């Protein structure tokens, strides 16, 4: 099954995440199919925290990809 989840990037105590579509059995920072957005939890403005490529995101959802609970909460809070 394909999941849309967070892949950690950034330095120690400065987290940055990439939203990726990947196989659910892949490692956290392992292989992925596509990048669908970025999440910066320490951004100053709330609107700068999530940068989502809505076309790619919607395409993966239409193909049957499921969001993890964390990604679902982040996307819901950004709208």
Helix (DSSP H) and strand (DSSP E) numbers for the chain? 2, 5
- Under the banding of pLDDT at 50, 70 and 90, the label for residue 36 is very high
Taking residues 35-47, report their average pLDDT. 92
| pTM for the model | 0.87
- Under the banding of pLDDT at 50, 70 and 90, the label for residue 76 is very high
- Under the banding of pLDDT at 50, 70 and 90, the label for residue 63 is very high
Q: What domains can you pick out in the chain, each with its CATH number?
A: 2-74 (3.30.1320.10)
């Amino acid at each position: 099954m394909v999941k849309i989840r967070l892949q950690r990037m950034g330095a120690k105590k400065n987290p940055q995440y990439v939203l990726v579509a990947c196989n659910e059995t892949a490692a956290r920072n392992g292989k992925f199919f596509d990048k669908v957005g970025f999440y910066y939890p320490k951004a100053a403005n709330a609107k700068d925290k999530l940068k989502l490529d809505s076309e790619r995101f919607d395409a993966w959802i239409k193909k049957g990809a499921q969001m993890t609970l964390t990604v679902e909460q982040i996307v819901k809070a950004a709208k």
